Amino acid sequence: MSRIGRVGATDAGGRPRSGVGRAPRPAPWRDATRSLSAPIAVVDLDAFDANAADLLARAGGVPLRVASKSVRVRHLVRRALDRGFASVMAYSLAEALWLAEDGVRDILVGYPSVDTAALVRLAQDPVAREAITVMVDDVSQVALLERAFMRAEGGESAAVSGAPINVCLDVDASLRLGLGPLSAHLGVRRSPLRTPEDVVRLARATERTGRLRVRGVMFYEAQVAGVPDGSGWRNPGVQVMKGLSLRDLARRRPAVVAALEDHLGRDVLVNGGGTGSLQQTATDPTVTELTAGSGLLCPTLFDSYDAFDSRPAAFFGLDVVRRPAARIATAFGGGYVASGPAHASRLPRPVDGARLLGSEGAGEVQTPLRYRPRRSVPAVGARVWLRHAKAGELMERFDQVRLVRGAAVVDAVPTYRGEGQNFG
């Protein structure tokens, strides 16, 4: 069971503590960051490195990509690679081109792109074509890639010599139950590709001209990897859904891969998994590589997984600017709400036992925090620490992140935003 399954089960550094009623310890880096202006973001390197080692162990020797969208700090993407991650899954083609320029040699773009300028840049650059694999799930996306190649050929023909553009086919990994009007779709709405026939048909269209080459397929089982367990026995419906999903994939994935490899006459890359499903996906012999990213930082949405121990590694600090009532301290900033369905689970969470106000939540400029009786209420000028609900999204709010180890700040590195990079 995850070690931080409920608020208050960890100290302010995100580490497990015993005695739920005991006051939490302050963040160990509190004193070291006191002179730094807030809002401030920190990443605990001890937790980050331990999480990286845990993800690699859970992958069981299957090569593991770091999902850059869950990090969005180039220094930390490199840190994951240095610790054993094999390659990168980018979320934007423009981002992949930027990372390739920085020397990253194997980048799988996890989502289709219709960025014409980026597609032409890819077609014009033989080094980038060797390093980057783009994602498609529709013949219209294939047509865009073909047009980009033709535009590149219309400019400098020498620039498009060499390898074709590598393409990965995104296959729907959701669970579908029932028939007709009584059917249910469990999982995200990603790809229209589902059957071996769907995949082979698109592969045939992709390789028709020789400008594009199918490198492999991706199955992202979001309903397993991205759905908290809810502490297992307390949410048996989640366990049943995950079990059915994994059994469905164990049947469908080999069938799709076999049909594709038979059509192409060669082995293909098969990507799968996510932070919440690494162990299960790694057991499928069809899968050649896995992807994870959120597990490096362990935001609050990963507090209730049974499959692994969550070690929070990313935090942000806000300064208290007013005390409007006896049990309320109001901090400056903090309105860093995560994407996804509008729900309280997407709000940041204080780590000192405080609660957001239901009437205000996390505010654009100020965030009121309510403290229970017998809890110390921070004074004006004090700093409070919170965790974001999702991983990399926090870094879009900061130009730099302080890297801490124990009680010390050991470095300050730019986020994507701090490097002037905005990939959406």
Q: Are residues 374 and 411 in the same domain?
A: yes
pLDDT the model gives residue 229: 58
Asked whether residue 125 falls in the same domain as residue 26, the answer is no
Residues 258 and 306 in one domain: no
Using the 3D structure, point to which of 255, 280, 297 is the last residue of a domain. 297
Q: Do residue 58 and residue 99 come from a single domain?
A: yes
Q: Are 318 and 334 in contact (CB under 8 A)?
A: yes
Residues 36-63 pLDDT 10s: 999 999 999 999 999 999 999 999 999 9
Q: How much is the average pLDDT of 317-345?
A: 95
Which of 1-15, 120-134, 214-228 comes out lowest in average pLDDT? 1-15
* Whether residue 139 sits in one domain with residue 50: yes
Say which CATH number the domain at 377 has: 2.40.37.20
Q: Do residues 289 and 218 both lie within one domain?
A: yes
Rounded mean pLDDT of the chain? 87
181-234 pLDDT per residue, tens: 666 666 667 778 989 999 999 999 999 999 999 999 999 876 564 555 554 445
Residue 185 and residue 241 in contact, taking contact as beta carbons nearer than 8 Å: no
Same-domain check for residues 306 and 250? no
Are 281 and 313 part of one and the same domain? no
Residue 387: give the domain boundaries: 1-44+299-424
Co-location of 103 and 250 in the same domain = yes
CATH number at residue 283: 3.20.20.10
What is the model's pTM? 0.88
Where is the domain boundary, 297, 332, 354?
Answer: 297
For the chain, percent of residues with pLDDT exceeding 70: 84
Q: Are residues 330 and 254 in the same domain?
A: no
Of 274, 297, 320, the last residue of a domain is 297
Q: How many domains does the chain have?
A: 2
Kindly state whether residues 363 and 253 are assigned to the same domain. no
Looking at the structure, tell me whether residues 313 and 202 fall in a common domain. no
